[in-house]
Every structure is written in C-alpha cells, then in structure tokens.
Amino acid sequence: MNRHHHPISAAITSLTLILALTGCSVANAIAPLPKVTVTATATDTPTTTPIPTPTTTPTPTEIPFYLTATVWTGNLQAPLLLYHEFVPNDVEKSTATKTRLEDFGNQIQKLYDAGFSLVSLQSWLDGSFVVPEGRKPLVITLDDGLFANQLYINADGTPNTDSGLGVLWSFSQSHPDFGFSAAIFMIMGDKYYADVQAGDRFILGEGNAWMDKFGQTIAWGIDHGVMPYNHTYQHVELDITKNADIVDQLRQNDYALRNFLERVGRSDLVPRLGNMLALPFGIWPATQSGIQILQNYKDPEGRPMQAIFEAYNYAEATWTPSVFSPGYNRFNLPRDTASNAMVDLIVQNKDNFPAAQACQLGPLPESDQANTSVIQTAIENAISTDACPAGVYNVDGNVFVASADKVELFKTKSDPTAATPTTTSSPILPSITPTP
C-alpha cells in the first residue's frame, strides 16, 4: 500500500535535519527577537503667558469749583475822615487841624472795634472797594501834605511811630484785617520837609538833603498805598483866585510832585498817580467858570479830573456816597473832619454803613473763573435761587450791579475806571445838605 506524506510535514522534517547538521537547535532558530527598549525624550510643556487683566482707571471725581464774591447791599456810603497834622502827646489837646498821636491811636482802635476796615480812596471812587466779610468800609485822607509828622520813614524802611501814618502802619501790622491805606492831598509849594528827627519831633536838616528825603517818602507812600493828590501849589483861596491862576496852581503842584519822584529815580510811579482835588479851606471858586476849570482840569499825562472833595465839621457830619448811590456827584464829595467826637458819632451810626457779605458762585469750570459772561450767569443763578442777594458784586476785581431782574457788568478788573458814567454836573455854588 503506497503511503502519501503531507507536504508540510516533509518540510519540517527537512528543516530539522538541516539544523541538526549545522549544530543549531530548533529552539534557537525560533527564539523570539530581543525586546527593544525605547527611551522617550521629554518634550517641554509650553509655558502659557497669562494675559494681564486690564486695570480700570477710575474716572476722577470732579471737584466743584466756586468763586467767592464780595457782595454789598443797602445804602452804600462810608465815612471819609479828614486829618491834617499830628502832634506829640505832650500837647494838651487835639484840634481840627492837629491831632495828638494818642488820640489818633484811640480813634482807629474804636473804628476797628466797630467793624470798620480801610479801603483806598481810588477804590471807593471806582466801585472796586472790598473789605473782609462782615466789616465796613472806611477811608482816611490827610490834607496839607506833606509834613514829617504825617509820614516819616526810618532808615530801616518802616514808618516812624512819631508820625500819624506810622501809628496807622503799626496798628495795621497787628490788625491786618483793618488794612493800611490813606490819601494825602499835597501842597508842594508852601514848605520844606523836616528830614531829621529830634526826640519825638522833626526838624529841617542841612542843605538840600530834605529834597531827597521828601521824594523818597512820597515814593514809599505810593508803593505802600499812601497816594498823593492835589491840594493846589500854595493852598490858595479859590474864591479870590483868578481863573488863569487856578489852572497854574493845579499844574505847578502836579509838576512839582513829578519832579521830586524823578529826583529820587522813581518816575516809574507816575503812571500810578491819580487826578483828584481837595478844595483848600473847603472853598469853591466864586464863579461857574472857575468851577468848570476845576472840573475840566487834566493832569500832565492827560488824565481828567476824577473827583473834587469838600470838608465838614462835627455839626455838619455827612457820610460820603458811593458811585452806586442815587444822585452821586463825583465833583462834590463830602469828607468829615476827624475828631474824638466825630469818631464817636461814626461808631454810634455804624449800622448805617454796609457790611461786606460773602457769596459762593458756581459750580463752574475753573477755566472760566475770569470769564465775565460766565460770572454774570453765575450771579443770576445765585440770585434766582435765593442763594445770594441782589446788590453790588465784586469777583476778583470784576464788579457787577445785580438786581432781581438783571445783572450788568460795571467794570472789569483791568479797567481803572467805572464803566457806568457818573453825574458830573454841579450847582453854581456847590453845597451838600447834611444827612448824618
């Protein structure tokens, strides 16, 4: 019987034989392949850069901006006191033209205690006067200047307290809310200036040294609020002075003042001078033409006459109206001769004089604080909401006249004169009816 072999079996048999002959084992021949160890290479994990959280900048809180106005209401009048010379305390008593220094010190203390503070004559005339809140305006004038007993400057540049304005200066240093200001009506052609102190008095020194001292004293005054004005060159009686001589008296006085300023190198002060007149003896020219000469006079720089002043004693006490007063006449303004009795009368009547009020205007943009149109609107709003009263408003030198119906700009800070025209007419023989 023929046996048939399976092909696969035959193949295996042959392979086994071959491996045996070659010394190889089947086990080796079919051993598994060695394991290959694969070392993984570390891959850096990407660093994620955080996106910053936006910082919200807070909107700044806008601080409301306000302007403070000085407000005047009621009858705007003030005492304008008239002094002349000052004398030491060993003099028995004060007179209408010579005030003991002790009396003067007591008078300004009384006026201060009654709530008065000084304003310049110029500011009273142009309506720009201001004093601290709650205080009342007061003007001090001196006639017949300049005597050393009115103003004498020490070597250290301070006013001597043996002079009247030295007493006023000293008082103002300890009472800054009283202020320091005065107007001196000068007579340049009737006297020398006592330039040397002897004890508590002043005497004329040697040569022309007085001229330099005189010019330096005038300059110090202008620099510190003591303004010189016209009282004629030789203190003439205008009712018996010819018209041509009236002009000469005014002009000579003006030229002499400027010459003394030039002598001490202070011509730079000339633009600050004003043109006002105090009538010598309080007497007017006898004729209308003479009165018109005074009213029409222009100083050497061409400035027109700003005001003309009279003088009254105790029995005729007359308070001086402001430019805002009905019937105001700048060519016929009263002053009251200073005395203990006059000061007592003023103190007794203190409630007849206005006190400064303060009013907050706004809010408004700080950039508009000098914009008069914006200020005007702010005043209107303050009055309409009863936050502030109607009256005269001074906002950093800008002056407005405000009623319940309208607000009008009276003068700007840069304007030295009032915008509203004032009465300039005067009677043939000027007179004031006393209204104490």
pLDDT band at 1 (very low <50, low <70, confident <90, very high): very low
Confidence of residue 433 (pLDDT cuts 50, 70, 90): very low
361 and 67 Cβ atoms separated by less than 8 Å:
yes
Going by pLDDT thresholds of 50, 70 and 90, the confidence category of residue 316 is: confident
Evaluate if residue 20 carries a pLDDT over 60: no
**pLDDT of 419 higher than 60:** no
Do 235 and 190 meet the contact criterion of CB atoms below 8 Å apart? yes
Mean pLDDT of 397-421: 82
HSE, CB side, 13 Å, CA atoms: give it for residue 319: 22
**In this model, does residue 375 exceed pLDDT 50?**
yes
Work out the pLDDT band at 60, boundaries 50, 70, 90.
low
Q: Which CATH architecture has domain 77-353?
A: Alpha-Beta Barrel (3.20)
Q: Model confidence at 436, in pLDDT bands (50, 70, 90)?
A: very low
Beta strands in 310-356, from DSSP E residues, in sequence order = 320-321, 336-337
Res 370 pLDDT > 90:
yes
Task: Give me the long-range contacts of 91-96 (CB less than 8 A, separation at least 24).
Answer: 94/339, 94/340, 96/313, 96/337, 96/339
- pLDDT-derived band of residue 158, with 50, 70 and 90 as boundaries? very high
The CA distance from 403 to 408, in Å, is 9
Mean of pLDDT over the chain: 87
Domains of the chain, residue spans: 77-353
Q: Contact 183/230 with Cβ under 8 angstroms?
A: no
Q: Is the pLDDT of residue 47 over 70?
A: no
Give the phi and the psi of residue 238 in degrees, each rounded to 5.
-70, -20
Helix (H, G, I), strand (E, B) or coil at 270: helix
